[in-house]
């Protein structure tokens, strides 16, 4: 507390005939009297005690924070330090003016490793993932790591042993979600990291053989792994495609307002993956219904060529064959006439 006994207020004499000394109390922010050390290394099972003290006006409160939990005491007391006591402790001294803090890293030595922290899981193609992690304190012993992973489709757990801080897991099932955690090991035991979940970065193929069926239906071949399909349409080549429907089966019933000249395309869908690239665009009226118009054109061209060839051959060789038939008939008749006068027949 700070006192100022010689401070005087300047007030007009007409209101106050004399001045009087006044005491002014100024609050003080907290300060450390006893600050905890930056680092404290203790063997597992050994006792430990750390104090944190401060002063201020008004008198401050002192408490600790560890793993987002509050410890309402100025003294940290550990009758027997355990593996779970490892970590960062923050001492906070606070009053109405402000708050100050100081951190201490408590290292529990000669014990099993502290859990690793998985930093990222990145896709490597469609069937593999790269797992990166930050190792925890090794307990002063060499440590190794085992990456464990399993999926809903294959609940049997698989593992990969490494001494590195990253590992690639492969031969994953397409479109599956995997649960991954890292086990840290040393000669004292092992600990597990938190589990993370990641979908394999598979890519949906686009629907194939998009076609019109009948007069009111758009069809395509089913796509493996697709859960649904989004049909997109546009009025003309100058406009953008917009979704006109989402279906679970590989067909879409055309609405009466869809007129010839309108274009359609289809995408495969499966949450939480990105939609597939669009299928080929098909235009209502240009391909007709049933078989594509290209096949009708080929069939019509072949039929026209066959009829033309038939007429040409008939016009070229038909008259010759008719003349030949008449000539052969004339020779046959003349032969019969001469045979009538054959000597054997005259006898």
Chain centroid to Cα 330, Å, comes to 92
Tokens of 334: 């003349």
- Report d(CA 171, CA 151) in Å as an integer: 12
- Cβ-based neighbour number of residue 167 at 10 Å: 19
- pTM, entire model: 0.67
- For the chain, the average pLDDT equals 85
- Report d(CA 83, CA 112) in Å as an integer: 8
Residue 321's alpha-carbon distances to 312, 315, 333, 346, in angstroms, are 14, 11, 18, 37
Least confident range of 87-91, 156-160, 325-329: 325-329
Q: Give the homologous superfamily in CATH for domain 117-199.
A: Immunoglobulins (2.60.40.10)
Report the pLDDT averaged over residues 274-301.
70
Q: By the 8 A CB rule, do 103 and 86 touch?
A: no
- Report d(CA 202, CA 125) in Å as an integer: 8
Helix (H, G, I), strand (E, B) or coil at 335: helix
Which class would CATH give 28-109? mainly beta
* CATH classification code of 211-283: 2.60.40.10
Q: By the 8 A CB rule, do 317 and 241 touch?
A: no
Largest CA distance in the chain: 191
* Number of helices and strands in the chain (H, E): 2, 24
The string of pLDDT tens digits covering residues 106-142 is 999 999 999 999 999 999 998 999 999 999 999 999 9
């Amino acid at each position: 507390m700070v006192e100022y006994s010689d401070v005087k207020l300047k007030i007009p004499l007409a209101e106050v005939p004399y001045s009087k000394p006044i005491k002014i109390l100024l609050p003080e922010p907290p300060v450390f009297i006893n600050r905890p050390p930056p680092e404290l290394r203790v063997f597992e099972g050994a006792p430990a005690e750390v104090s944190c003290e401060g002063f201020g006006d008004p008198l401050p409160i002192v408490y600790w924070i560890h793993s987002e939990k509050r410890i309402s005491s100025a003294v940290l007391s550990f009758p027997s330090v355990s593996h779970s006591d490892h970590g960062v402790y923050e001492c906070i001294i606070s009053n109405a003016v402000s708050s100050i803090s100081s951190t201490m890293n408590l290292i529990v030595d000669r014990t099993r490793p502290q859990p690793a922290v998985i930093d990222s899981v990145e896709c490597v193609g469609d069937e593999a993932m790269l797992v990166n992690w930050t190792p925890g304190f090794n307990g002063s012993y060499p440590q190794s790591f085992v990456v464990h992973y399993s999926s809903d489709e294959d609940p049997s757990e698989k593992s990969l042993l490494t001494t590195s801080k990253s590992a690639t897991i492969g031969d994953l099932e397409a479109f599956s979600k995997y649960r991954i955690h890292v086990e840290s090991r040393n000669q004292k035991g092992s600990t597990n990291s938190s589990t993370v979940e990641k979908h394999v970065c598979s890519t949906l193929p686009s629907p194939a053989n998009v076609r019109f069926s009948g007069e009111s239906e758009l069809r395509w071949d089913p796509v493996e792994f697709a859960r649904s399909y989004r049909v997109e349409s546009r009025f003309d080549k100058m406009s953008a495609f917009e979704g006109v429907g989402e279906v679970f089966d590989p067909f879409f019933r055309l609405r009466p307002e869809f007129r010839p000249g309108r274009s359609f395309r289809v995408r495969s869908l499966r949450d939480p993956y990105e939609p597939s690239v669009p299928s080929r665009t098909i235009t209502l009226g240009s391909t007709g219904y049933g078989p594509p118009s290209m096949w009708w054109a080929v069939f019509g061209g072949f039929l026209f060529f066959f009829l033309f060839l038939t007429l040409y051959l008939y016009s070229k060789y038909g008259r010759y064959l008719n003349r030949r038939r008449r000539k052969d008939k004339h020779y046959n008749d003349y032969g019969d006439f001469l045979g009538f006068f054959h000597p054997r027949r005259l006898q």
